């Protein structure tokens, strides 16, 4: 095992924001043994502090088709528009579109949480650092057809540039065991 690999693997420990860790803990508690957290288990009243930073998306075609169902107020402010109801193609293009499809593709096809960090251009403002957590949801208990995302913004740039970190199965197992202890 190299120095970069923790002795007890934990996806939670790789999430660089306390609100996103709280969102992950909520998802983990409500996921159970299902492929993903059931959509019906999502209760906005249980996580009111997180609502401004949340995005709820309908997904299909392995994460290539994304339609934004709900966009929190902090996200709307950062983008300069409320993109609720829009598709990913209506919102972005080029390398940002490719990155977003890759990120959602990991969540949908592997049914795992994905944490990412990177630069974000605020509308008419300088670049800021953003941290994102994407979590798989399911309506029918068999397929990931929705994604719950949390996104936060910081004034300073994070370390090491862009990062995209899907959860590993052993990390999810360790986190579930820790949450139920």
Q: Is residue 130 part of a domain?
A: yes
pLDDT average, residue stretch 150-158:
79
Dist. CA 82–CA 169, nearest whole Å: 35
Q: Is residue 1 part of a domain?
A: no
Q: Please tell me the predicted confidence (pLDDT) of residue 2.
A: 45
| pTM of the model as a whole | 0.86
Per-residue pLDDT tens over the stretch 13-70: 999 899 999 999 999 999 988 889 999 999 999 999 999 999 999 999 888 899 999 9
What is the residue whose two structure tokens read 């993903």?
Answer: 36
Per-residue pLDDT tens over the stretch 57-98: 999 988 889 999 999 999 998 888 899 999 999 998 888 889
Query: Token digits for 9?
Result: 């693997």
CA atoms within 13 A on the CB side of 118: 14
Chain-wide mean pLDDT for the chain?
A: 87
- Tell me the percentage of the chain whose pLDDT exceeds 70: 87
Q: Is residue 6 part of a domain?
A: no
Q: Is residue 16 part of a domain?
A: yes
Q: Is residue 5 part of a domain?
A: no
Dist. CA 29–CA 176, nearest whole Å: 8
Domain count, the chain: 1
């Amino acid at each position: 095992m190299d120095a970069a690999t923790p002795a007890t693997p934990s996806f939670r420990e790789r999430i660089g924001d306390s609100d996103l860790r709280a969102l992950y803990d909520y998802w983990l508690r409500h996921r159970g043994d299902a492929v993903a957290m059931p959509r019906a288990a999502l209760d906005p009243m249980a996580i009111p502090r997180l609502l401004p930073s949340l995005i709820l998306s309908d997904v299909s075609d392995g994460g290539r088709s994304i339609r934004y169902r709900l966009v929190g107020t902090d996200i709307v402010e950062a983008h300069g528009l409320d993109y609720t109801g829009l598709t990913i193609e209506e919102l972005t293009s080029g390398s940002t579109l490719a990155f977003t499809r890759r990120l959602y593709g990991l969540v949908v096809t592997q049914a795992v949480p994905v944490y990412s960090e990177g630069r974000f251009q605020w509308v008419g403002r300088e670049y800021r650092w953003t941290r994102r957590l994407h979590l798989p949801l399911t309506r029918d208990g068999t397929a990931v057809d929705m994604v719950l995302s949390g996104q936060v913004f910081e004034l300073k740039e994070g370390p090491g540039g862009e990062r995209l970190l899907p959860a590993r199965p052993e990390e999810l197992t360790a986190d579930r065991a820790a949450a139920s202890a």
